[in-house]
């Protein structure tokens, strides 16, 4: 996709004298010109508050904001834009669900998440458990570092009220069988809720929430070429209608008096205060950009690069790759006995290679593996063969220096 690479201005920069190779896309992606221009255009030509203004700019901003909601709904194959709640990202979406579900839980109810879950898919459930007496249980991994689906199905029981699964592990890269796991949860108990964390998958593969069979789906805009502080939560309309609001204030109300308040209709019931109007509009621009490039084309390209990266790292002396070659997203994490991940990442940075080091907000996973962290290489649609080869060459040189 060399034609797309030119759309990302930051990729032409250098780190010192070395041209930048950006392989930290699982943390955040770079932004294409159409997104940068859309954000500037909004603030230059449209900027106004939405829904409550009678003047032209307010009407224009409102129209663009709600058109953006429609774009997100179509991207996720939601049944209605009323099912799309704008958030500041995956973390905010999960916290919203955890808050509004509080009254649905009682002591002894169980929540299942995964051993490789991001902290944002662990801590909000722990907080819910503290409020309600529910219990959080981690789904174990196999020796190959895949989710143990047999153990998962045995863990399902009449007390299981919620299953929260990442579609792709941000630390291991493993792509989880979320459709199969969702179906198993529903077979176990029809009213078991399933939340899917799409932070590491939405930019890399098509999403159809109807086909997935889940109840909630969350993703972050900044991992799919949109600005930081953007994202969305999809929830089934009948569920969102039944659940209480989270935050109170403007927009989420229908009528307020000191005697009581009636709440607004969906989706505004969950969007108190002034939203990130420009960010949400530009999130839709990023989704349209991804659709123009083509998710099937993106997936095929990224998978080819990921396999080359995996094979090249596996061939380096002493490098241990976490997880199997197949069935993974567009990232590879490594550990090198005797070499600290931070030292490796620092040397790579001096060579112009941007990777992520540390525990990747997955401390329970790292503890289960007996390590403190990894060096993670993650790809996006603009990466190419030269990026991969330069990263492999730099890694080889860095390891020679560190030994």
pLDDT in tens, 217-243: 999 999 999 999 999 999 999 999 999
Residue 389 burial (10 A CB sphere; 0-12, 13-18, 19+): middle
Q: Are strands 14-15 and 18-19 parallel, antiparallel or unpaired?
A: antiparallel
Helices (H), 49-104: 56-76, 90-100
CATH number of the domain to which 317 belongs: 3.90.1150.10
Q: Which residue has the tokens 């174990």?
A: 140
Q: Are strands 320-321 and 331-335 parallel, antiparallel or unpaired?
A: antiparallel
Nearest to 312 by CA among 395, 398, 199, 197: 395
What is the domain range of residue 315?
2-23+294-402
How far is the CA of 67 from the CAs of 19, 42, 73, 93, 269, in angstroms? 39, 14, 10, 20, 18
Give a yes or no: residue 29 inside a domain. no
How far apart CA 396 and CA 28 sit, in angstroms, is 25
How far apart CA 21 and CA 387 sit, in angstroms, is 6
CATH number of the domain to which 150 belongs: 3.40.640.10
State pTM to two decimals. Answer: 0.97
Catalytic residue among 129, 167, 361, 362: 361
| CA 354 centroid distance within chain | 20
User: Which of these three, 291, 308, 329, is where a domain ends?
Assistant: 291
Nearest to 203 by CA among 21, 32, 398: 32
Same-domain check for residues 353 and 237:
no
Helix (H) or strand (E) holding 296: helix 295-314
Predicted pLDDT at 390: 98
Same-domain check for residues 230 and 206:
yes
The yes-or-no verdict on residue 3 having pLDDT over 90 is no
Predicted pLDDT at 52: 83
Same-domain check for residues 122 and 149:
yes
Q: For residue 352, give the 3-state DSSP assignment.
A: coil
Give a yes or no: residue 393 inside a domain. yes
Question: Total structural domains in the chain?
Answer: 2
Same-domain check for residues 282 and 300:
no
Same-domain check for residues 235 and 320:
no
| CA 112 centroid distance within chain | 19
Same-domain check for residues 110 and 218:
yes
Same-domain check for residues 109 and 151:
yes
Give a yes or no: residue 307 inside a domain. yes
What are the φ and ψ backbone dihedral angles of 218, each rounded to 5 degrees? -125, 150
Known catalytic membership, residue 129 = no
Same-domain check for residues 334 and 274:
no
Give a yes or no: residue 75 inside a domain. yes
Same-domain check for residues 10 and 134:
no
Within 13 A of 15's CA, how many CA atoms are on the CB side? 14
Same-domain check for residues 146 and 187:
yes
pLDDT digits (tens, 9 = 90+) for 65-117: 999 999 999 999 999 999 999 999 999 999 999 999 999 999 999 999 999 99
Q: What is the CA radius of gyration of the chain?
A: 22
Same-domain check for residues 283 and 387:
no
Q: Are 236 and 76 in contact (CB under 8 A)?
A: no
Q: What is the mean pLDDT of residues 342-358?
A: 98
The yes-or-no verdict on residue 354 having pLDDT over 70 is yes
């Amino acid at each position: 996709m060399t034609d797309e690479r030119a759309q990302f201005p930051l990729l032409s920069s250098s780190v010192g004298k070395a041209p930048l190779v950006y392989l930290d896309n699982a943390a955040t992606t770079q932004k294409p010109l159409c997104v940068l221009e859309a954000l500037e255009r909004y603030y230059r030509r449209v900027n106004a508050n939405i829904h409550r203004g009678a003047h032209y700019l307010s009407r224009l901003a409102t129209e663009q904001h709600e058109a953006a909601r429609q774009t997100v709904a179509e991207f996720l194959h939601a049944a209605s834009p009323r099912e799309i709640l704008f958030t500041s990202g995956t973390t905010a979406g999960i916290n919203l669900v955890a808050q509004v579900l509080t009254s649905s839980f009682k002591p002894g109810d169980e929540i299942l998440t995964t051993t490789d879950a991001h902290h944002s898919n662990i801590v909000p459930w722990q907080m819910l458990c503290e409020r309600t007496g529910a219990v959080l249980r981690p789904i174990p991994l196999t020796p190959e570092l895949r989710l143990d689906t047999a153990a998962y199905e045995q863990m399902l029981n009449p007390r299981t009220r919620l299953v929260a699964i990442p579609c792709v592990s941000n630390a291991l890269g493993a792509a989880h069988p979320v459709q199969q796991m969702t179906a198993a949860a529903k077979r176990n108990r029809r009213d078991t809720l399933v939340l899917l964390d799409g932070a590491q998958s939405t930019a890399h593969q098509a999403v159809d929430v109807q086909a997935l069979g889940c109840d909630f789906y969350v993703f972050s805009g900044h991992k799919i070429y949109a600005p930081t502080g953007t994202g969305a939560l999809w929830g089934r309309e009948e569920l969102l209608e039944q659940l209480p609001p989270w935050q109170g204030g403007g927009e989420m109300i229908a009528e307020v008096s000191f005697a009581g308040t009636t709440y607004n209709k969906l989706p505004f019931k969950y969007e108190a205060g002034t939203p990130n109007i420009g960010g949400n509009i530009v999130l839709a621009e990023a989704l349209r950009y991804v659709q123009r490039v083509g998710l099937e084309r993106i997936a095929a390209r990224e998978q080819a690069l990921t396999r080359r990266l995996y094979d090249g790292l596996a061939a380096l002396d002493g490098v241990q790759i976490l997880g199997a070659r197949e069935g993974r997203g567009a990232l590879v994490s490594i550990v090198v006995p005797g070499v600290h991940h931070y030292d490796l990442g620092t040397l790579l940075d001096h060579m112009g290679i941007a990777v992520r080091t540390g525990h990747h907000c997955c401390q329970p996973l790292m503890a289960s593996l007996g390590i403190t962290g990894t060096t993670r290489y993650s790809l996006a649609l603009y990466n190419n063969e030269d990026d991969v080869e330069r990263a492999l060459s730099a890694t080889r040189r860095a390891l020679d220096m560190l030994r």
